[in-house]
Amino acid sequence: MMELIICYERPDFFGGNTPAEDVRLRPEQRHVKKAFSYFKRNKNTAIKTNDNDDTVGYVLIWESYADYDNGIVTARKFDGHIYPTEEWKLSVEKARKFFYGLFEK
C-alpha cells in the first residue's frame, strides 16, 4: 500500500515553527498534485513516499536555497534502509512526472 507524506513547518502558538507531517494512504492523482503545488511554493518542505509492500520509498527535498531558486530537487531512494541507496538531482518538472508515475493506477 502506497503512502504519500508531506513534511513541512507549521506555525506554533509561540510564534515559532513546529515540524509537521501529513500522511495520505492510497493517494490519488489529485493528492499528488496538491502536494507538489505546496512543495514548489515552500522551501522548507519535503515529499516522501512509502510503499509498505516492498519497503521502497522516495524523498524529495530542496538541498539548498540556491537549488530552490533554480528549481533543482534532490531525490533519494530508500530500499528499507536508514540510508539512501540512490540519490540524484533533477528539475522540479521531472520530479513531478516521476512522482505522478508512482501513483498512477
Task: For residue 8, give the H/E element and its range.
Answer: strand 2-11
- How far from each other are the two terminal CA atoms of the chain, in whole angstroms? 12
Give the range among 42-46, 47-51, 59-63 with minimum mean pLDDT: 47-51
Question: Across all residues in the chain, what is the average pLDDT?
Answer: 88
Q: List Cα–Cα distances, 27 to 64, 72, 91, 95, in angstroms.
A: 28, 25, 23, 17
Question: CB-based contacts of 66: which residues, under 8 Å, 6+ apart?
Answer: none
32: three-class secondary structure by DSSP: helix
Q: pLDDT per residue over 48-59, tens digit each?
A: 988 766 677 899
- Average pLDDT estimate for 13-27: 91
* Alpha-carbon span 54 to 70, nearest angstrom: 33
For the whole model, what pTM was predicted?
0.83
Amino acid code (one letter) for 21:
E
